[in-house]
């Protein structure tokens, strides 16, 4: 079976695809593929291109497109607004969230987030996050590449959110998730998850003012890196592509 790789949409033109240096080096050096081998390239928007490698070295490569088709996802569009957790926990959230069908990741700073405000390293960190998402999407055979936003203050992400169903995972004064979910699938969903210390009452009030409904998953308190996974799985089972082929 031909291996799958994501490439920028603008790298495909005139029946050929240009392979970025990092990808070309991985294909040739790590995977030991060479001229004449077949690969499948995806542009992140649903288009697939079956190609044969024409040229490959450590600096770049190109491939001839021999077949093209379009695939759409049946996943429920889900945006995870995740307060930045400690350490490298966000990397696992991005990886596993991509596998579970999340379509957009929006990291945010909240009052109890440990990471400091933006620094010159943020751009490198964002590029790493996006590579993690792309690799998880490739391995899980997703045709659409999820978005990973630059970190924002919480209030900016809340103002920017226009999802039909907005859920905030918050244990105080919240409702059981099952009581909020309806039989009719929503157009899209936003999940708001706090950091290790949770949201402050002021932040929770701010979120409710932007239409977020506080929900809980029962008597157990889930970690920040687990909560989004749990709700995403429930949503994809009820409204998305879990159980479909």
Enumerate the domain spans of the chain.
3-70, 78-239
pLDDT score recorded for residue 198: 87
pLDDT at 145 over 90: yes
pLDDT at 128 over 80: yes
Q: Choose the weakest-confidence range: 23-32, 102-111, 117-126, 229-238.
A: 117-126
How many CB atoms are located within 10 Å of the residue 73 CB?
Answer: 14
CATH superfamily ID and name for 3-70: Hypothetical PUA domain-like; domain 1 (2.40.240.20)
- State how beta strands 152-153 and 175-176 pair: unpaired
Q: Is 167 helix (H, G, I), strand (E, B) or coil?
A: strand
pTM of the shown model: 0.88
How many CB atoms are located within 10 Å of the residue 33 CB?
Answer: 19
pLDDT score recorded for residue 121: 67
Question: Where residue 219 falls among pLDDT bands split at 50, 70, 90?
Answer: confident
pLDDT at 232 over 90: yes
pLDDT digits (tens, 9 = 90+) for 151-209: 999 999 999 999 999 999 988 778 899 999 988 999 999 999 999 888 999 999 999 99
Question: Where residue 119 falls among pLDDT bands split at 50, 70, 90?
Answer: low
Where is 152: in which H helix or E strand? strand 152-153
Contact 12, 2 (CB under 8 A): no
pLDDT score recorded for residue 41: 95
Three-class secondary structure assignment of 82-107: EECCCCCHHHHHHHHHHHCCCCEEEE
pLDDT digits (tens, 9 = 90+) for 99-110: 999 999 999 999
pLDDT score recorded for residue 118: 57
pLDDT score recorded for residue 134: 94
The share of the chain scoring above pLDDT 70, in percent, equals: 96
CATH superfamily ID and name for 78-239: SPOUT methyltransferase, trefoil knot domain (3.40.1280.10)
pLDDT digits (tens, 9 = 90+) for 55-85: 988 778 999 999 999 988 888 999 999 999 9
pLDDT at 117 over 60: no
């Amino acid at each position: 079976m031909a291996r799958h790789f994501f490439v920028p949409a603008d790298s495909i033109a005139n029946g050929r695809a240009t392979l970025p240096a990092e990808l070309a080096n991985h294909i040739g050096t790590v995977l030991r593929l060479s001229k004449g081998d077949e690969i499948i390239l995806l542009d992140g928007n649903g288009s697939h291109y079956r190609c044969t490698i024409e040229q490959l070295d450590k600096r770049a490569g190109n491939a001839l497109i021999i077949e093209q088709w379009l695939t759409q996802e049946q996943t429920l569009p889900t945006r995870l607004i995740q307060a930045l957790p400690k350490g490298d926990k966000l990397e696992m959230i991005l990886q596993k969230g991509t596998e579970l069908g999340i379509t957009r990741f929006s990291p945010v700073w909240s009052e109890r987030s440990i990471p400091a405000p933006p620094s010159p390293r943020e751009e490198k960190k964002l590029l790493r996050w996006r590579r993690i998402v792309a690799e998880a999407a490739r391995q899980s055979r997703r045709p659409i590449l999820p978005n990973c936003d630059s970190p924002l203050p919480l209030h900016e992400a809340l103002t920017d959110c226009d999802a039909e169903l907005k859920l905030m995972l918050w244990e105080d004064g919240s409702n059981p998730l099952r009581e909020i979910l309806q039989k009719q699938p929503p157009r899209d969903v936003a999940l708001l998850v706090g950091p290790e210390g949770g949201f402050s009452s002021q932040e929770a009030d701010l979120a409710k003012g932007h239409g977020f409904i506080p929900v809980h998953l029962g008597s157990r308190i889930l970690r920040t890196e687990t909560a989004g996974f749990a709700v995403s799985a429930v949503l994809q089972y009820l409204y998305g592509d879990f159980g479909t082929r």
